[in-house]
Amino acid sequence: MNKHHYVAIMAGGIGSRFWPMSRTDYPKQFLDILGTGKTLIQQTYERYHKLVPLENIYIVTAQEYVTIVKEQIPGIADENILAEPSRKNTAPCIAYIAFKLLNKDPDALMIAAPADNLILETDEFVKTAKKALDFVDSINALVTIGIKPTYPNTGYGYIQYDTTEAAPDLYKVKTFTEKPNEELAKTFIASGDFLWNAGIFTWKVKNILSAFEKYLPEIYEAFASEKDKFNTAEEKEAIETIYPQCTNISVDFGVMEKADNVYLIPASFGWSDLGTWNSAWENKEKDYFGNAVVGKKVMAVDAKNCIVHVPDNKLVLLQGLDEFIVVDTKDVLLICKKDKEQEIKDYVAEVKRNMGEKYL
């Protein structure tokens, strides 16, 4: 393992489309959505340990989740947990870890990745990640990973790329498109030069910071003005000063869509961003009738193609349901058509308006 290789796991999101399991105080990255025995962040941490030393894995999360991170990742050093004072999307998150690493190791290369991706073929993923690290070590490039689409998913971002190789298995990126409608997604798939955006990025730390300086100068200056305090006792105070100055913006929109040195590696390693209940259904083992069940006492009668997540100690009998999401928690029961899953965020907003924040 190379001592200059680092991983930043981004674990600050709320995951509202996995409501009611995913809550503001305990979001989906800390849950065992598929009933595997390990939470998503635990799986992600173990996956990256195959790539870099444990001391080179950092977790960037919200201040209120630091205790949960320590519970789920025993032994992680305090200095490897970066606590954000507010949610400002992925650009400030990445600027934070990049400035911290530059202060520590000017030769640092970094992978930035979500905590809640599902990756089934770890060995194949590690090969792809090593390929990305090797490429950015030799050229000023920002690399992302693209996944061959299998259907017109409207919840994923899409990347269009030049199909002429710029290097072995690497291609220049042409455009990014966020969550298209179904008709446009079908057009993308038919064209053959669009891939799903996995949201996993690789770069030299100094090169991503140069890109911030060019494309997000306000965020860059906010961090640069306090950079000497990173990796000191004054870091927390510095971050409290910096974050209110930062725009709420993703690194995709703020940097990747604007930069002219973005490259893509097409890959296939059993990836899902596990962003919705339907994606959980797709990746969970199913019974003869297509039902994916987490819960030890579920009986399905004339029910098919449902995703069911209920407590082990509760008997649940489903009759006549077809293509439904059924999720039962201690205080919320959700029964929702699978084709309405993208609207769960709207339902959560309606719950907040009518019931307050108790159920969020």
Strand partners, 202: 111, 143
Q: Give residue limits of the domains in the chain.
A: 5-272, 277-355
* 3 state DSSP class of 17: helix
Specify the pTM.
0.92
Domain topology for 5-272: Spore Coat Polysaccharide Biosynthesis Protein SpsA; Chain A (3.90.550)
Position 153 scores a pLDDT of: 83
* Closest C-alpha among 4, 39, 251, 267 to residue 136: 4
CB 301 within 8 A of CB 318: yes
Position 17 scores a pLDDT of: 84
Position 15 scores a pLDDT of: 79
Spans of the chain below 70 pLDDT: none
Position 351 scores a pLDDT of: 94
Position 360 scores a pLDDT of: 92
Position 296 scores a pLDDT of: 93
* 3 state DSSP class of 269: coil
Ranges of H-type helices in the chain: 40-49, 66-72, 90-104, 122-138, 182-191, 205-215, 217-224, 235-242, 251, 277-283, 344-355
* 3 state DSSP class of 203: strand
Question: 32-83 pLDDT, tens per residue?
Answer: 988 889 999 999 999 999 999 999 999 999 999 999 999 999 989 999 999 9
Q: Which residues lie closer than 8 Å to 41 by C-beta, 6 or more apart?
A: 9, 11, 29, 30, 59, 69, 72, 73, 115, 116
* Closest C-alpha among 230, 223, 229 to residue 244: 223
* Closest C-alpha among 277, 261, 275, 272 to residue 339: 277
Position 192 scores a pLDDT of: 85
Position 312 scores a pLDDT of: 93
Strand partners, 304: 322
What is the chain's Cα-based Rg? 21
Position 279 scores a pLDDT of: 87
User: What letter represents residue 264's amino acid?
Assistant: L
* Closest C-alpha among 173, 176, 189, 174 to residue 265: 173
Which tokens in the block code for residue 102?
């530059």
Position 275 scores a pLDDT of: 81
Question: 135-178 pLDDT, tens per residue?
Answer: 999 899 999 999 988 888 888 889 999 989 888 999 999 999 88
Phi, psi values for residue 107, rounded to 5°:
-95, 15
